[in-house]
């Protein structure tokens, strides 16, 4: 591992894998390729089909049940659907980071009339999602290949608006450095329509937890901090609704969410707004991000 990535890995050190526990036994490998950006491995193990990046014991990016593909395997995907408690019927959705397509597919099942736009850096990941995980783009669920931040910048210039934005871009270590800064989050906020919501998948515990939290708070104010193996930040452009409103939406959506393996009994207790970072925590910016902080350059 190059010195820059080794130091960054140390800063992000956590006993948790990116998206669930790591896959020490890879089971039956059904696909392996080296793309322009990463090693991609698809394997089947204990009733799951999974994709991971990297050749070592990296966290899994995607897993799907071989017997019930509609069921959401990872807790973070179930937590992301909690965003619908804040914006129950989004018409325009932007998903940054595709993986195996579990998030846009779940949203398509719940929101058949919504326009869902996914952005994925690696065309090989798109091909793997389509071939091995059942992701099928259509007229209302499109996928664009390219850098997520570049796409966001372009959308801001075009004055586009979304009701829900899901931030789920990961490499084999963490969220890409240029997609964790205040500058980027301000661009994301500029894309939100009135009442729009951002749902961001991050680590539950890492050396960046405080700075990341403070950075989100500086852009969105108080946010819901859902924590299990991963953490999902739910923030709203115009401030959070009252919990009575959240609970009412949860009751309305319960039958649909239960079909995907989640629901209010599990989700609602996770809706907390605790400030878990020290006062005065320095914000992450394009000038002060993990790599810049450690003076890391390959």
* pLDDT tens, position by position, 97-137: 999 999 999 999 999 999 999 999 999 999 999 999 999 99
Q: Please name which of 243, 239, 107, 226 lies closest in space to residue 165, comparing C-alpha atoms.
A: 107
For residue 206, the model assigns a pLDDT of: 79
Are the C-beta atoms of 169 and 179 separated by less than 8 Å?
yes
For residue 20, the model assigns a pLDDT of: 39
User: CA 153, 179, 243, 77 torsion: positive or negative?
Assistant: positive
| 282 secondary structure, DSSP code | P
* pLDDT tens, position by position, 150-184: 999 999 999 999 999 999 998 767 888 899 999 99
Question: Which of the two residues, 249 and 37, has the higher pLDDT score?
Answer: 249
Beta carbons within 8 Å of 89's beta carbon, 6+ residues apart: 111, 114
- Asked if the model's pLDDT at residue 272 lies above 70, the reply is yes
For residue 172, the model assigns a pLDDT of: 63
Lowest mean pLDDT across 153-162, 196-205, 286-295: 286-295
Return d(Cα 8, Cα 5) in angstroms, integer. Answer: 5
Return d(Cα 69, Cα 71) in angstroms, integer. Answer: 6
Task: Read off the pLDDT of each residue in 204-231 and give the average, rounded to a whole number.
Answer: 92
- Asked if the model's pLDDT at residue 290 lies above 80, the reply is no
Query: Using DSSP, how many helices (H) and how many strands (E) does the chain show?
Result: 10, 11
pLDDT category of residue 245 using cuts at 50, 70 and 90: very high
For residue 183, the model assigns a pLDDT of: 96
Catalytic residues, which ones? 168
Cβ contacts of 246-249, under 8 Å, gap ≥ 24: 246/85, 246/86, 246/271, 249/84, 249/85, 249/86, 249/88
Residue found under tokens 């014991």: 57
Q: How far is CA 245 from CA 114, 199, 248, 249, in A?
A: 22, 18, 5, 6
Are the C-beta atoms of 239 and 221 separated by less than 8 Å?
yes
* pLDDT tens, position by position, 211-222: 999 999 999 999
Return d(Cα 123, Cα 259) in angstroms, integer. Answer: 31
| 93 secondary structure, DSSP code | E
For residue 60, the model assigns a pLDDT of: 83
Return d(Cα 78, Cα 138) in angstroms, integer. Answer: 23
Which domains, and CATH codes, for the chain?
Answer: 3-65 (no CATH), 75-289 (3.40.50.150)
Q: How far is CA 222 from CA 198, 236, 248, in A?
A: 12, 9, 20
- Asked if the model's pLDDT at residue 6 lies above 70, the reply is no
The pTM assigned to this predicted structure is 0.89
Return d(Cα 22, Cα 60) in angstroms, integer. Answer: 6
Return d(Cα 291, Cα 296) in angstroms, integer. Answer: 5
């Amino acid at each position: 591992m190059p010195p820059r990535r080794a130091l960054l890995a140390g800063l992000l050190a956590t006993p948790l894998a990116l998206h669930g526990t790591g896959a020490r036994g890879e089971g039956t490998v059904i696909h392996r390729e080296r793309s322009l950006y990463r090693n991609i491995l698809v394997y089947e193990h204990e009733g799951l089909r999974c994709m991971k990046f990297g050749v070592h014991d990296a966290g899994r990016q995607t897993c799907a049940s071989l017997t019930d593909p509609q069921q959401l395997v990872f807790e973070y995907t179930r937590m992301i659907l909690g965003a619908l408690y804040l914006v129950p019927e989004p018409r325009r959705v932007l998903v940054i980071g595709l993986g195996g397509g579990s998030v846009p597919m779940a949203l398509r099942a719940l929101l058949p009339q919504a326009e869902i736009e996914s952005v994925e850096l690696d065309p090989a990941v798109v091909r793997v999602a389509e071939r091995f995980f059942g992701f099928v783009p259509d007229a209302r669920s499109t996928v664009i290949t390219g850098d997520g931040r570049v796409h966001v910048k372009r959308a801001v210039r075009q004055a586009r608006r979304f009701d829900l934005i899901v931030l789920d871009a990961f490499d084999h270590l963490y969220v890409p450095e240029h997609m964790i800064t205040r500058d980027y989050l301000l661009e994301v906020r500029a894309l939100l329509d009135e009442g729009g919501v951002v749902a961001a998948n991050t680590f539950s515990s890492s050396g960046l937890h405080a700075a990341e939290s403070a950075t989100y708070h500086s852009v969105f104010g108080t946010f819901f901090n859902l924590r299990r193996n991963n953490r999902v930040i739910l923030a709203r452009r115009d401030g959070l609704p009252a919990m009575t409103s959240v609970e009412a939406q949860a009751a309305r959506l319960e039958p649909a969410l239960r079909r995907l393996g989640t629901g209010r009994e599990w989700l609602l207790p996770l809706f907390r707004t605790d400030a878990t970072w020290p006062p005065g925590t320095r914000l992450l910016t394009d000038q002060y991000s993990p790599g810049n902080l450690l003076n890391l350059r390959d």
